[in-house]
A = this chain, B = another copy of it.
Amino acid sequence: MTESVEKWGIFELALSGPADGNPFTEVSFGARFRHKNRVVEPDGFYDGDGVYRVRFMPDTEGEWHYETVSNVDELAGHRGSFTCVPPTTPGNHGPVQVHNIYHFAYADGTPHVSVGTTCYAWVHQGDALEEQTLETLKQAPFNKMRMCVFPKHYPFNANEPPLYPYVRGEDGQWDFQRFNPAFFQHFETRVGQLRDMGIEADIILFHPYDRWGFATMPPEADDLYLRYVVARLAAYRNVWWSMANEFDLMKSKHEADWDRFFRIVQESDPYQHLRSIHNCRRFYDHGKPWVTHTSVQHSDLARVPEWREAYRKPVVVDECRYEGNIEKMWGNITAQEMVHRFWLGTIGGGYVGHGETYLHPEDILWWSKGGVLHGESPARIAFLRRLLEEHAPEGLDPVSREGASKGEDYYLFYFGVAQPGRFLFTLPEAHQYRLDVIDTWNMTITPVEGTYSGTFMLELPSKPFHAVQARRVDS
């Protein structure tokens, strides 16, 4: 009987090989996976203690045959096969991909309404806090987590991580040629737990907040690192690659470095997971072909339609400031303002990300360390997510400054800080719609009597942060 692996699950092969010398640089290892005439060749990686692994995420049901490839005899030429069967895990819809230019869908066609949050360094906090973070996420509305590989050095982030990605050489300095497998085993355990909760792991490969030297490694070390991370993690279907957080603050890296990082990830990842790069101020050119979607830091959500037009890719505003009360202006907007920005970005045809930065006696701020949520925005973000998943899971496209639609089936108008007592709506003449008035903060949906079509004036409650949805009711 052949082994069976669910579609978009992970097939993993472990072999014993040389533990001497530097297996990370001296041994090449991988495998060719073949289904009918198709071949996929993921890189393997050294996992310490003489163990070499290669992971593969099959995307086609049926028989797959493999043969290992290596520059070391004992690791080369191992053959075998398995059967890829339909997904058995509930919620396994495959990796998320770009869909209809501006939106996302899982590989099986299920729409993905991206609702992200950020806990940059949550995997570097030790098991107790990390498990609390996972518990919190079970109740939270988020289906994407922005998280760094490297530990974080920053205000509110003074603690050392339990594990480091590298081992130290005899000189006491980090040896950027020798990874610490325990670090990555831990990291990928967390990525797998997110996957099992239906949460995409938006993995931030580089970031500038560093006191260890990981932000300023030589180019060869950067490249080795990228290939190692991709070899270990690409088989996880919930992976997204973010080249960096605030790339423009990393003064030792230049435009050509970022281009090269994108190309290395693009070449190494057999599954072409989503790729992006996150700015502080200056945008990277998201029009470059290896960028699959924008990952924007910006406070003005009204500009989402402009970025859609500029890049013709999904616009994800991962950071629009955080709900909280810290002294930094990027981390102290009200819950109401956070929810307002979610709605503005949504109506603009984009996707907005959450973060939370409330002062905490032990400096446990969600935005970096995870833990528990203290804010009032997540409940309202959950409300918005439910609304979108029910009525417009394929995404909304802007039709006016206040309105967005899913074709002619569904319209959503949002008035923000405006409080119209009435509004002149324009819907297609050819269809009939039922309307609801939505209080985005109090999370109420109030049906309007009758059906509507074409251009009409509708009375509204003269209150801010309200929306109106129009659901097509003819067939």
Residues of A within 8 A of B (CB): 321, 324-327, 329, 332-334, 336-337, 358-359, 401-402, 415, 417-424, 457, 462, 464
Contact = CB atoms under 8 A, between A and B. Distances in A.
Contacts of A462: 325
A326 B421 contact: yes
B359 A327 contact: no
Contacts of A419: 324-325, 332-334
B402 A329 contact: yes
Chain A interface helix/strand/loop/mixed: loop
Contact of A423 (B321, B327, B424): B327
A337 B457 contact: no
Given A415-B332, A464-B334, A464-B337, A421 B457 contact: no
Nearest to A457: B327
A121 to B, nearest CB: 21
Contacts of A464: 334, 336-337
Contacts of A422: 325-327, 359
Nearest to A358: B421
A388 B359 CA distance: 32
B420 A326 contact: yes
A341 to B, nearest CB: 10
A358 B418 CA distance: 12
23 contacts: A321-B418, A325-B419, A325-B420, A325-B421, A325-B462, A326-B420, A326-B421, A327-B420, A327-B422, A327-B423, A327-B424, A329-B401, A329-B415, A329-B418, A332-B415, A332-B418, A332-B419, A332-B421, A333-B418, A334-B418, A336-B464, A358-B421, A359-B422
A188 to B, nearest CB: 36
A332 B402 CA distance: 13
A298 to B, nearest CB: 13
A419 B321 CA distance: 12
A359 B325 CA distance: 37
Given A329-B401, A329-B402, A334 B417 contact: yes
A326 B424 CA distance: 10
A421 B331 CA distance: 11
A319 to B, nearest CB: 15
A433 to B, nearest CB: 18
A415 B324 CA distance: 13
Nearest to A465: B334
B417 A337 contact: yes
Contacts of A421: 325-327, 332, 358-359
A417 B333 contact: yes
A89 to B, nearest CB: 41
A464 B338 CA distance: 12
A415 B462 CA distance: 26
Nearest to A341: B417
Contacts of A402: 329
A324 to B, nearest CB: 8
Nearest to A335: B419
A239 to B, nearest CB: 34
A420 B332 contact: yes
A175 to B, nearest CB: 39
A420 B415 CA distance: 26
Given A326-B422, A327-B423, 11 more contacts: A325-B419, A325-B421, A325-B462, A327-B421, A327-B424, A329-B418, A332-B418, A332-B419, A333-B417, A334-B417, A334-B418
